[in-house]
Structure 1
Amino acid sequence: MTSKMDNPPPYEDALKHPQYDPNQLPHGSVDPPPPSYSPGMYASPPGYWGQAGMWAAPGLSPSGMPGTIPTLCAGVPATNPREMEDFLSTQWESTSVRHAFIRKVYLILAAQLTVTFSVVAVFTFVDPVKMFVIRYPGIYWASLVVYFIVYCILICCKEPRRRFPWNLVLLGVFTVALSYMSGTISSYYETKAVFLAMGITALVCATVTVFCFQTKVDFTSCGGFLCIAAILLVILGTVTAVVLSFHYVPWLHMLYAAIGAIVYTLFLVYNTQLLIGNRELALSPEEYVYGALSLYIDIVHIFLFILQISGSATE
């Protein structure tokens, strides 16, 4: 509340008898004159407001410009040598892990192919073994059943982190089964046709591997196309089996074998790029059994299809 004596005079009296001049102060007055208004300037305690209406807060220089350049990472300067070293070391570690993974896969694959072609050589050069397989074809069908069962188990078992490496044991059983099946099939062809199929398969695999490590084309995004090609290959194989049983169109067998070799060559390109890991899709470094299994199946099927073509050509 205010007293009556403190009330200001009426408006007309103040105009006729002004008692206060803002530009003149009475003698002996202690109070400073009220500050005049100017754009961008505010009368405030020093250090609270900056020049030209800019905040003088922490993080801003007196000129109103930020002291540090903002970056995408909140609270991290644009140049941090320690973080750059950590990033490079992480990149190096991931590259070294991928290289170790590739070496492990190809070592397993080399062991598998050594076993397979050794068994094929036995069934090709040893005449008693060849005649035994031809006489008892049920052994071939038994190996085919074991091949499919173990393959399905290995597809569902990708993690190697166990006390006992059951997946490697299953991979060994699968290798023996597929090697025996390939040997029984090779026993029906001449030795010259088998050697020719081995040489062409080795040339195709070497060319595909070099191509996958050098090209920038991403084949891992073509998984749907490869699935459709595999389904068409199965349909064509069924039609070929039915047609050849009636001894019609004998050249259809070679056409089916040529298409099968091409399809599995594309599968080899796809699985090799999954192994490399610098494409849209990649295998985890823990899936070395699955990587070796995929490449092994592709190479063996390429050999079997080329063997059909070379066997028909030699006949």
Structure 2
Amino acid sequence: MSWQVPPQEPPPAGFYPGQQGPQPGFYPGQNNPGQGYPGQGYPGQGYPGYPPQGGGYPPQGGYPSQGGFPPQPGFPGAPGGAPFIQPRPEMYGGVHDAEDPLAGTGGFEFSDKSIRRGFIRKVYSILMLQLLVTFGFISIFVFNENTKLWARQNVWITYVALGVTVVTMLVIACCGEVRRKAPMNFILLGVFTLAESFLMGVISSFHQGEAVFMAVGITAVVCLALTLFAFQTKWDFTMMGGILLVAAVVFLVFGLVAMFFPGKTMTLVYASIGAVLFSVYLIYDTQMMIGGNHKYSISPEEYIFAALNIYMDIINIFMYILTIIGASSRD
């Protein structure tokens, strides 16, 4: 038994391109423009740009030398048409994304403000923990006589704490990669805070408890007022960095000279200048943290450095106010 392939019928005319061209009625609206697709239908010669009937596809001679279809009038970018407009993100609604500063109308401004607010909250959270630890150390040294006596009998630990404070502060201030890398930055800041709190406790132990807590209260009021002033004022203190540096150097030299002329008056003058100087530094560092319309600002990645600056400003203000109170109560 043999298998036979049934004879194949030839394809209808116009089935293959270029065979005999499209047959009448093959395209909608070819013979009757009122039929087929809505509107007037396609022209009687087929789709736009196709060769007339009988010519096949493609026409003899190939495609046009320009290549492809010419742009139709009215199409964006075509001669005589509408200008081509590159789409922008703001054209698709007001979606604000903190991760993508271009995602929406004013996206960059919204992103910058949201990141800066989170940065400020982080800085003040760290600062509050530092101040609580320091206040705890001060309270122990002021009210616990055994701790006060132990610190005075073991002076060496005070020098160790001073050395740890200086080293950790220099590492945080000078090594940018270290202070931006967690958890190393938190460890260094924690060690610095413990050492500085111990020093503040030792210094406070030489004063009366009433004088210490009076200094704490005055420092809290002054720092709160200066912080609110830094947030609200239109004066840009971030441009005073050079002036403050010169003032700090002069203040340091004045302190060295004051060591050779001890006395109540010299102590009051020196402490008063120090309190004023570091009050201005507090405004300066606060505006550096705020950013916004100020000329200079700290990067949101530098939250450890910002917390360290503001913490040292508050500690210095407290120390000089305590010195003023102590010198004033001295006979």
Decide: shared fold, TM above 0.5.
yes
The CA distance in 2 between the partners of 1:264 and 1:182, in whole Å, is 17
The CA distance in 2 between the partners of 1:271 and 1:59, in whole Å, is 58
1:81 aligns with 2:99: no
Partner of 1:232: 250
2:135 to 99, 106, 117: 117
Equivalent residues of 1:158, 1:290 under 8 A apart: no
Q: Which has the higher contact order (CA 8 A, sep 6+)?
A: 1
The CA distance in 1 between the partners of 2:180 and 2:131, in whole Å, is 25
Partner of 1:302: 317
Secondary structure of the equivalent of 1:271? helix
1:267 aligns with 2:281: yes
**Within 5 Å, which residues of 2 pair with 1:136-155?**
136-155=154-173
**Within 5 Å, which residues of 2 pair with 1:254-293?**
254-278=268-292, 279-293=294-308
1:218 aligns with 2:241: no
Secondary structure of the equivalent of 2:217? helix
Letter in 1 for 2:279: T
The CA distance in 1 between the partners of 2:325 and 2:165, in whole Å, is 24
Superposed CA offset, 1:9-39 (max 9, x none): xxxxxxxxxxxxxxxxxxxxxxxxxxxxxxx
The CA distance in 2 between the partners of 1:186 and 1:59, in whole Å, is 83
Superposed CA offset, 1:52-106 (max 9, x none): xxxxx97779xxxxx77xxxxx95699x634876242332122111101100000
Letter in 2 for 1:265: S
Note the residue ranges of structure 1 that are not aligned, 5 or more in a row. Answer: 1-56, 62-66, 69-73
- Using the TM superposition, give the Cα deviation of residue 161 of structure 1 relative to its aligned residue in structure 2, in angstroms: 5.5
The CA distance in 1 between the partners of 2:253 and 2:277, in whole Å, is 13
**Within 5 Å, which residues of 2 pair with 1:17-36?**
none
Partner of 1:103: 121
Aligned residues: 244
The CA distance in 1 between the partners of 2:108 and 2:231, in whole Å, is 22
- Using the TM superposition, give the Cα deviation of residue 140 of structure 1 relative to its aligned residue in structure 2, in angstroms: 2.0
The CA distance in 2 between the partners of 1:180 and 1:60, in whole Å, is 80
Larger % of helix: which?
1
Partner of 1:131: 149
Secondary structure of the equivalent of 2:300? coil
Equivalent residues of 1:97, 1:285 under 8 A apart: yes
The CA distance in 2 between the partners of 1:303 and 1:60, in whole Å, is 75
Partner of 1:242: 260
Secondary structure of the equivalent of 1:286? coil
Letter in 2 for 1:152: L
Secondary structure of the equivalent of 1:243? coil
Instruction: Give percent identity, aligned residues only.
Output: 38
- Using the TM superposition, give the Cα deviation of residue 203 of structure 1 relative to its aligned residue in structure 2, in angstroms: 0.5
- Using the TM superposition, give the Cα deviation of residue 198 of structure 1 relative to its aligned residue in structure 2, in angstroms: 0.1
Partner of 1:45: none
TM-score, length of structure 2 as denominator length: 0.68
Secondary structure of the equivalent of 1:242? coil
Note the residue ranges of structure 2 that are not aligned, 5 or more in a row. Answer: 1-76, 96-103
Partner of 2:46: none
Letter in 2 for 1:282: S
The CA distance in 2 between the partners of 1:191 and 1:59, in whole Å, is 87
Partner of 1:13: none
Partner of 1:202: 220
Partner of 2:18: none
Equivalent residues of 2:291, 2:297 under 8 A apart: yes
The CA distance in 2 between the partners of 1:173 and 1:77, in whole Å, is 53
The CA distance in 2 between the partners of 1:303 and 1:205, in whole Å, is 10
Secondary structure of the equivalent of 1:147? helix
**Within 5 Å, which residues of 2 pair with 1:187-198?**
187-198=205-216
CA RMSD in angstroms comes to 2.4
When residues 83 and 190 of structure 1 are mapped into structure 2, their CA distance, relative to the original with a 3 A threshold, is same
